[in-house]
Amino acid sequence: MLSTFRPGRTGPAPRPRATTSSSKDRSAPSSAAWGAACAGAGTGVTKVNFNGGDCYDWPFGGARCYRGTVAAWPDFVLALARRQDVTDIVLIGDCRPLHIAAVEALRAWRPEIRVHVYEEGYIRPDWVTLEDSGVNARSPMPRRAEAILPLPEAAMPRYGVAVGASTVRMGIRAMFSYFAMFLLGFLFRNYEHHRPDGPLREAGLWLRRLGGRNLRQAEAAAREAALYSERKPYFLVLLQLNVDKQIVFHSPFANMQAYLERVCQSFAAHAPPDSLLVVKAHPLDNGRDDHEGDLAALGQRFGIAGRVRFIDGGNLIGLLEGCRGAVTVNSTAGISALHRSIPLIALGHALFDLPGLCHQGGLDSFWTAPEPVDSRLYHGWRNMISRRSQVNGSFYSDRGIQMVIDGSLPILEGTAGPVRDWPPLPAANPVGPKPAP
């Protein structure tokens, strides 16, 4: 999406700039609502559509439908940016090939261009992330206590308005988007979606998932109750999506099966013999992959079949509060563990994988000697990210989307925002290879 920021109706006039936002997906603020707000603020908007789902969510004029190849995309976006005199680019996620290519092309042309990246909230469910340059492992946030605790905002908690989550609404939006992608697929023959299945199958998976929601919730509640009745110590393993770009780009694992294999192998060899391994599915998993079957096979292979449990759904907070420690690749669900001082290990690159927050000694030692969470560092870190990167709102309700828009526009216009009154952050650690867990 290309937009030209002009002075708003009230308040100090920001410098004119343009914003590029490309490739909207189900985790984005509604492009329709976003475009209407930009127009109301005096902002001319040009959106780039890459597939039928993008077209479905943009009822305004001024859109460009890119039907070319990935190889030709940098020249296209550069020519468009030059015509618009673009000074800012807004992305939904920072790992997709089209996004990476756009940033590289535009920064080569205009090095000072500002890159704003939306992502799901680091703090959930009432926040979304909006950062400069990158998110998650590419976030500019510092990674050391000595750089975090002296910051003024580290001592300043931030409180937002409760919005709540809506997995059902997200699933419905995803279905409509995939149907539109399928119906208009003949217009975008060069588009390659980041999910391995076609849009029609993706929509069907979500339809089946939503249809079985009540039964699945009842089964998860029963399994939780059975787990608690055993009164045995357990470790909680948090799954992510195989298509999650944090797995693809910032993880040593090819998929969740490889992750589970490493965890089960280590658990079998090093965990206390009376402990259980509880694996929780991601709440937005559409059921494409048989994680429960994979876990059962791994349990047999490593001799721990009687010690593994699988829960599809369930109460994350309750499961965390009862566990001895939690394991993740780099899911932000790990922050919920830190918030409750639950020992945590991150096996991939993660924003929160700091000495003092996460176990640094390797997976094999985690089962018997997990490093405790430094409460002072955690609260300072949380205060910092809430002030520096979080916008109160939600991607999955009309009210939440409007809150995101209201909080985002001043940031994009340069007149307000989480970082406006704070000194520059120290340089963050660059993303590099992480040793095998």
Compute the distance between CA of residue 41 and CA of residue 45 in angstroms, rounded to an integer: 11
Convert the pLDDT of each residue in 404-422 to its tens digit. 999 988 888 775 544 444 4
Of 317, 329, 319, residue with least CA distance to 358: 329
Give residue 311's pLDDT: 97
Only one residue has tokens 């206390």, namely 272
Residue 17 in domain? yes
Higher pLDDT among residues 317 and 176, named by residue: 317
Give a yes or no: residue 92 inside a domain. Answer: yes
User: Which band of pLDDT confidence, cut at 50, 70 and 90, is reported for residue 251?
Assistant: very high
- Range 378-404 average pLDDT: 92
Q: Is the model more confident about 310 or about 59?
A: 310
The pLDDT assigned to 263 comes to 99
pLDDT at 5: 44
Is 426 inside a domain boundary?
Answer: no
Q: In this predicted structure, what is the pLDDT of residue 88?
A: 81
Mean pLDDT of 2-10: 40
15 vs 97, more confident: 97
The arithmetic mean of pLDDT across residues 127-136, rounded, is 92
Query: Do residues 44 and 3 touch, judged by C-beta distance below 8 A?
Result: yes
Of 18-22, 112-116, 234-238, 424-428, the one with minimum mean pLDDT is 424-428
Quick one: pLDDT band at residue 211, thresholds 50, 70, 90? confident
- Range from 54-68, 194-208, 352-366, 375-389 carrying the lowest mean pLDDT: 194-208
The verdict on residue 361 lying in a domain is no
Q: What average pLDDT does this structure show over 231-256?
A: 94
3-state SS, residue 336? helix
87 inside domain: yes
Residues 6+ apart with CB under 8 A from 293: none
The mean of the pLDDT values for the chain is 84
195 has a pLDDT exceeding 80: no
Q: Has residue 174 been placed in a domain? A: no
Among 42-51, 217-226, 357-366, 375-384, name the one with the lowest average pLDDT: 42-51
Query: What is residue 194's predicted lDDT score, i.e. its pLDDT?
Result: 67
Spatial CA neighbour of 87 closest among 54, 113, 61: 113
Is residue 152 one of the residues assigned to a domain? yes
Query: Domains in the chain: how many in total?
Result: 1
- Residue, of 98 and 13, whose pLDDT is higher: 98
- Has residue 29 been placed in a domain? yes
Task: Measure Cα distances from 368 to 166, 280, 364, 418 in Å.
Answer: 37, 21, 8, 40
Tell me what the mean pLDDT of segment 322-342 comes to.
97
376 pLDDT more than 70? yes
Range of the domain at 40: 2-164+390-413
Look up residue 371 and give its two tokens: 């490093």
Taking alpha carbons only, the member of 96, 125, 121 closest to residue 248 is 96
pTM (two decimals): 0.85
pLDDT beyond 80 at 218? yes
